[in-house]
Structure 1
Amino acid sequence: MFIYQRKILTTLTEEEFRAGYRKAQLIDVREPKEYEGGHILGARNIPLSQMKMRIREVRPDQPVYIYCQNTMRSGRAAQMLKRKGYTQLYQLKGGFKQWGGKIRTKN
């Protein structure tokens, strides 16, 4: 499972992630409550639990930067996207809890 995820998904350090995510689709796959508690600036919330239904919201012709709280859910989301033909899949190493950049919260 983990080895397969490494094949379909590139794990980026925070620095690499930060360098590329503005030119990509940034997707937070955590649940709405987690997202509202704080998310990376510019991220869209498509929870893993809704990914199957909302997959059309993700463009296959652009890189997809995914993150969750640690990395479990982003790996699962990447597997779903890969099965639908998405190829440019990236995740944040260590997930949101390791993120040191700007965040936005919903008050």
Structure 2
Amino acid sequence: MLPIKEINVTDLSGRFEQNDSNIELIDIRTPAEVARGVIPNSKTLPMHLIPLKMDYFNNTDKEFIIYCRTGSRSAQACMFLNQQGISNVLNLRGGIMSWAQQGLNIEQNPIGSLV
């Protein structure tokens, strides 16, 4: 099996600055974690509900960047999606913790929920 694709915080921030409309951020943390803040322009989908939303990830025009607190759960989610034949997903290395450690903006409200 091939390793999952990843993106680091610096590259993601750069894509934001370029107004890359081809990416979609998905926060897979629990609602309690999401309540503490999200990366701007994120949608939320708790990890355990990913199997119920497989059709959503079939949009091959988008590149889905999946993140959690540290990157571990999102790596598992990316691996699961890859196993289902969905390859347009990237794990945010270091998760939202890495984003915050770089001093980047955290918002209180996601732009939407996939539930």
TM-score, scaled relative to structure 1: 0.81
Aligned to 1:104: 107
Larger CA deviation: 49-58 vs 27-36: 49-58
Kept after mapping to 1: 8 A contact 2:68/2:95: yes
Aligned length: 101
Rounded Cα–Cα distance in structure 1 between residues aligned with 2:94 and 2:83: 24
Flag structure 2 segments of 5+ consecutive residues without an equivalent.
110-115
Rounded Cα–Cα distance in structure 1 between residues aligned with 2:29 and 2:78: 13
- Percent identity for Structure 1 against Structure 2: 23
Rounded Cα–Cα distance in structure 1 between residues aligned with 2:83 and 2:72: 17
Could you say what the CA RMSD is over the residues aligned between the two structures, in angstroms? 1.8
Rounded Cα–Cα distance in structure 2 between residues aligned with 1:24 and 1:16: 12
2:51 paired with 1:48: no
Kept after mapping to 1: 8 A contact 2:57/2:86: no
Flag structure 1 segments of 5+ consecutive residues without an equivalent.
none
Aligned to 2:91: 91
More helix by share: 1
The CA deviation string for residues 38-93 of structure 1, in whole angstroms up to 9 with x for no partner, is: 00011111111111112222344021101100111101111221122211221222
- Runs (4 or more) in structure 1 with deviation over 6 Å come to none
> For 2:25, what is the secondary structure of its paired residue?
strand
> For 1:91, what is the secondary structure of its paired residue?
strand
